[in-house]
A and B are shown apart, each in its own frame.
Chain A
Amino acid sequence: MSTSKKVPVGEPTFCVLLVIFSLAVLYQAHLISGFSSISSPGAFPLGVAAVLLIAALRVLWELRGKPTHGEGWAASAKRLSHEHFPRHIVVFTLLSVAYLAVIQWASFYISTFAFLVLAIVYLRRGRVLSALMASGISVLAIYLLFTLAFSVYLP
C-alpha cells in the first residue's frame, strides 16, 4: 500500500498550529480599528485574516477521514524526525543559527570560512582538504565579487 495517500506524520498538529496562528492574526487585525468603518485601516486586514482562518480550518478539515500511519506517540515522533527533521538538516540549521549569531562578533570572513568548512565537512562526511579549498575559494570569490564588484556592505 502506498504511504503517499496517508496523512503525513505531524501534519494534523501543524494544521492545528496554523488555526491557532490564524486566530491570533484575526485578533491582531481586530485590534487595528475593530469594526469602526468599512474602509478603516483594519477592515481589509480583518477580511484577509478571516480568509486565513477559514483556509486553515479547511486544510484541517481535509485531513479528516484520511488514513494515518496508526502509530503511537513514540513511533510518530520517530517518523516525524526521520521524514522532516533528519539529523543532518537539524545539525545544518543549528550550525547556520550559530554562524548568524557570531557573524558580527567574529568578523564576517572568519565566521563564513569556519561555517563553510564545518558545514561542508559535516555534509560530505569528511574530505577536510577539499572543504578547506572550497571554503577558501568561496570566501575569496565573495570578497572579489561583493566588496570589489558589487560594493556591498558585509556584516
Chain B
Amino acid sequence: MSDTFSYLLMAWMDPNLLMLTALGTFAGIYIGAIPGLSVTMAVSILVSFTFSWDVNDALALIVGIFIGGVYGGARSAILLNIPGGPSSVATSFDGYPLAKRGEAGQAIGLSTVMSVIGGLIGTVVLALAAPLLGDLALKFAPRDYFLIAAIGLMLVGSLAEGSLAKGIFAVALGAIIGMVGMDPVTAEGRFTMGQMELMGGIHYVVVMIGLFGVAEALFQLHNLSTQAVKQKVDKIIPSVAMVLKFLPLSLRTSIIGVLVGVLPGVGGEIAALLAYDHAKRTVKNPTSPFGEGAYEGLVAPETANSAAVGSAYVPMLTLGMPGDAVTAVIIGALVIHGLNPGPMLMVENPHIFWFTVGNLALANIFLLIFGLMGIKLFAKVVELPKAVLIPLILVLCTVGSYSLNSSMTEVYWMLGFGLLGYFLKAFGFQMGPIILGVILGPLMDSSYRQAMASVGDNPVELLGEMVSSPLSLILTSALVLVLLSNTPLFGWLKRKRKAASVQP
C-alpha cells in the first residue's frame, strides 16, 4: 500500500518530473491550439526523441502534452472557429458563437475548469477500473484478446468519418503494415518481397510520424492563407456559481466520456460529439439556443473529451490495446522503453501504472493553472504563420525518424508514409484507423494463432469455445452486435420499429 502511494506521488515529489509534467502540459496547450499541430503528431515525434530517457521522464512529458493538447484544441475552436483537433469539433459549435458575442474569456475559463473536472474523473476511473480489469485480463484466453481487438478495429472502422468501407480499408491497411517483416513464431518473411531490409519490419513510430506529421503538414498547406480572427478576451476565471450551475451536466457528460474512452480504439472526438448530443437532448432551457452560444454546448464536449483521456489508458495498460490514436503512440513509447503494455504490466511493473495515475492528476492541476493564465502570450503563439511552422514540422519529423535507428532508411519511410497519407487524406481516408490497425493487427494475428493452436486447428471447436465460455460469449455477442449495426439489416429493423411506433 505504501509502495502504491509512493508511486502515485512520484511525479508530485520529484522536481524533475514535476517540471517535465508542467512543461508538457504548457506545451500541449499551445500544440493543441495551433491549427495544424495535433497531439498525436507531437507525441509521435516526441516518442522518438525521448527513447534514451528514463521511462518516467518520458511518460511525464507525454502525459502532460496529451492532457494539455486535448484541452488546447478548445481554445482555437472558441477563438478562431478552427478546432485544434478532432476532439474539439463539437466545442466550436457553441464556443465560437460565444466568442463572437464577446464572451470568449468566460468561455475559455469555463472550458478550462470543465476540462479539469472531466480529466480528474477520467483519472479516478482509471485508478479504480484498471486494477479490476487487469485482474480479469489475466484470465483472458487468446480468443478473448482476438475478439476484443476485432471489436476495437470494427468500432474504429465504423466510427471513422466518412464511409464504413474507407474506415475498414484504413484499418486493414494498418494491420498489413504492422505485419511486414519476420513472423515472430516461424521467422518466415511476410510482405517482405524478398528484401532483407524489410525483415526487421517497419518501425511503427516512423509510420506514425509519416501519417500524422508529414501528411498532416502537407495537408495544412491547403489552408496557408487562412487568417486568424482576433477576439477580445477579458475576464477569464469563471465564478463559482457558474461552475456549480453546470456541474450536474459535466458529471453526466464525464460518464459518457469515460464509457467511450474505455472502448478500445474510440477516443475523445466520439465522446465529445455524443456528449454534445446528450446535452442537446436533455437540457430543456439552455443559456442560449444550441449552436448560438449555449454554455451547455461548451461544457458537455469539453468534460467528455477530457474524461476520455484517463479512461483511454484503461484498455492500453490492462489489455495492451490503445483507447485512441494517442494511446496507440504511447504503447509504442512503452515498448521502446522495454515495457509490455497488457495484463502483465500491472503485475510486473505496477509502479508504471500508479505513476501514470498520479501524473495524469498532476497534469490536470497544471492544466487548471496554465489554462487560466497566459492568454496574451497564447494569442501571439496561435497566430504563428503556417509558412514558418510547416517547414519546421518537416525538420522535426526528419530528426525524430532518424533518431530511431540513426539511419536515413527510416527517414525515407517517413516521407513515403507521409505522401501516402496525403493521398489517402485527400480522398477522405482517416489516419487514426491506420495507426490502430498497425498496433492491433499483429496482436490479433498472434492471439488468433494461439487460439487456433489451443484447439488443434479445429475452427468448429474454436467457435464452440467462443459461445461456451461466459466471457467469450459476451465478447462474441458484442462483436456480432457491432457487425450487425453496420449492415443494412440494422437500418431496416430501426425503420420498421420507428414505423411501428408511429402507427396507432
Contacts and interface: CB of A to CB of B under 8 A. Distances in A.
Interface of A: 8, 10-11, 14-15, 18, 25, 28-29, 32-33, 37-39, 41-45, 48-49, 51-52, 55-56, 58-59, 62, 84, 86, 88-89, 92-93, 96-97, 99-100, 103-104, 112, 115-116, 119-120, 123-124, 134, 138, 142, 146, 150-155
B447 to A, nearest CB: 10
Contact of A25 (B176, B188, B386, B411): B176
B411 A155 contact: yes
B189 to A, nearest CB: 8
Given A44-B449, A100-B415, A52 B173 contact: yes
A121 B416 CA distance: 25
Contact of A89 (B191, B221, B441): B221
Nearest to B50: A150
A59 B459 contact: no
B45 to A, nearest CB: 11
A112 B395 CA distance: 7
A23 B191 CA distance: 13
Contacts of B52: 150-152
Contacts of B477: none
A123 B402 contact: no
Given A8-B427, A39-B457, A123-B224, A52 B176 contact: yes
A152 B399 contact: yes
Closest 3 CB pairs of A and B: A123-B387, A39-B452, A119-B391
Contact of B190 (A45, A104, A142): A45
Interface-centre pick from A45, A56, A103 (highest chain B CB count, 10 A): A45
Interface residues of B, number: 58
A45 B224 contact: no
B493 interface: no
A153 B391 contact: no
A134 B449 contact: no
Given A99-B398, A153-B403, 12 more contacts: A14-B423, A25-B176, A39-B452, A51-B168, A55-B169, A86-B221, A86-B222, A88-B221, A93-B218, A142-B399, A153-B402, A154-B399
B411 A97 contact: no
B363 interface: no
B151 to A, nearest CB: 15
Given A37-B457, A45-B190, A48-B176, A138 B399 contact: no
A42 B448 CA distance: 12
Interface stretch (B101-109, B178-186, B286-294, B373-381): B178-186
B444 interface: yes
A41 B183 contact: yes
Given A28-B193, A93-B419, A154-B402, A138 B395 contact: yes
